[in-house]
């Protein structure tokens, strides 16, 4: 099972911002979690991350179908504020779309051509050779084993002035962390707070908005205004 191997012998650097200033938060069910003092991310010890095969087996249990009305309603939490930002015909990438890319279908229906990329279900390297007006990541970033590298890749995939829309359940109370359903998913290895996303935004020179709980909109600087 994922997460039952011994933890690292020394504190690992934060996988989100790379600071070495981390401290143990909790050990539960033979899984060691760490907390970053800078960006406030909570993360599973790198030595205990699931394998690709274990991840795929878990993902196959998810029932996220393109035509599932309940799932579509859930995705509107990100879709609605994102659509307010997009010009007509903006082209997007659903990054980590999973086996049932419902959000991409909803954006296509709204007039936005969409590309798909998922390392397991849509491993299309050509999609990573273009740039996009916007990128969506719904229930994805908590799976990133190396989020610093992943956010750097997303920055490269975005056109200047482009939007990155993220939905993930924010980590709030440390007292509730052990019992939290989101932690118990064996493929969830990084947990973010709103502060974490503001730190990520500063790393890349992005603007950051949190329009509602568990939804983040990040904007790459328009051409001439970035680093």
Q: Is residue 36 part of a domain?
A: no
Summarised one tens digit per residue, pLDDT across range 120-172 is 999 999 999 999 999 999 999 999 999 999 999 999 999 999 999 999 999 99
Its sign, for the CA torsion 154, 155, 160, 165, is: positive
- Could you list the residue range(s) of the whole structural domain that residue 198 is in? 55-219
Q: What is the total count of domains within the chain?
A: 1
Reply yes or no on whether the pLDDT at 116 is more than 60. Answer: yes
Tell me the CATH number at 123. Answer: 3.40.50.150
CB 200 within 8 A of CB 151: yes
Summarised one tens digit per residue, pLDDT across range 40-74 is 999 999 999 999 888 888 877 766 667 788 889 99
What's the pLDDT score for residue 67? 74
What's the pLDDT score for residue 225? 61
- Quote the strand ranges of the chain, DSSP E: 22-28, 31-36, 42-44, 92-95, 114-117, 132-138, 158-167, 190-191, 207-212, 215-219
Q: Is residue 9 part of a domain?
A: no
What's the pLDDT score for residue 27? 96
Rounded (10°) angle between helices 102-109 and 69-83: 60
CA distance 33 to 39: 15
Q: What is the bridge-based pairing of β-strands 132-138 and 158-167?
A: parallel
Q: What is the mean pLDDT of residues 107-118?
A: 98
Q: Is residue 48 part of a domain?
A: no
Q: What is the mean pLDDT of the chain?
A: 93
CA distance 156 to 49: 26
CB 94 within 8 A of CB 117: yes
CB neighbour class for 164 (10 Å; exposed up to 12, middle 13-18, buried from 19): buried
For 57, the 3-state DSSP assignment is helix
Q: Is residue 167 part of a domain?
A: yes
> Please, which pLDDT band fits residue 1 given cuts at 50, 70 and 90?
very low
Q: Is residue 173 part of a domain?
A: yes
Angle at 200 between CA 120 and CA 191, to 5 degrees: 60
């Amino acid at each position: 099972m994922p997460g039952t191997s011994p933890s690292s012998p020394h504190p690992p650097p934060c996988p989100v911002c790379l600071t070495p200033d981390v401290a143990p938060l909790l050990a539960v069910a033979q899984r060691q979690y760490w907390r970053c003092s800078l960006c406030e991310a909570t993360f599973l010890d790198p030595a205990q991350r699931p394998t690709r095969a274990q991840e795929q087996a878990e993902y196959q249990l998810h029932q996220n179908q393109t035509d599932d009305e309940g799932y579509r309603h859930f995705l509107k939490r990100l879709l609605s504020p994102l659509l307010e930002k997009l010009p007509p015909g903006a082209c997007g990438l659903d990054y980590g779309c999973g086996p049932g890319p419902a959000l991409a279908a909803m954006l296509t229906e709204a007039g936005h051509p969409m590309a798909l990329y998922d390392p397991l279900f849509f491993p299309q390297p050509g999609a990573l050779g273009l740039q996009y007006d916007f990128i969506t990541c719904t229930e994805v970033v908590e799976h990133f084993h190396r989020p610093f590298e992943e956010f750097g890749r997303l920055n490269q995939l975005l056109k200047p002035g482009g939007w990155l829309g993220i939905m993930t359940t924010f980590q709030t109370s440390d007292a509730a962390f052990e019992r939290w359903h989101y932690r118990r998913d064996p493929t969830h290895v990084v947990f973010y707070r709103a502060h974490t996303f503001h730190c990520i935004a500063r790393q890349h020179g992005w603007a950051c908005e949190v329009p509602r709980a568990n939804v983040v909109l990040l904007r790459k600087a328009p051409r001439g205004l970035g680093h």
